[in-house]
Structure 1
Amino acid sequence: MFTAYVIVTVVAVAANAGIAVADLVGARFVLANSAEVEVPASWIPGLAALKAAGAAGLLIGLLGVRPLGIAAAVGLVLFFVGAVVAHVRARVFRNIAFPAGYLALNTAALVLVAR
Structure 2
Amino acid sequence: MGAHNEPKDLLPLTEPVFHILLSLADGERHGYAIMQEVRERTDGDVVLVPGTLYGAIKRMRGLGLIEETDARVDPELGEERRRSYRITAFGERVAAAEAARVSALARQAALKRLLPEWGLTT
TM-score under structure 1 length normalisation: 0.32
More strand as a share of residues: 2
Greater gyration radius? 2
Q: Highest relative contact order (Cα 8 Å, sep 6+), 1 or 2? A: 1
Task: Please identify which structure carries the higher helix content.
Answer: 1
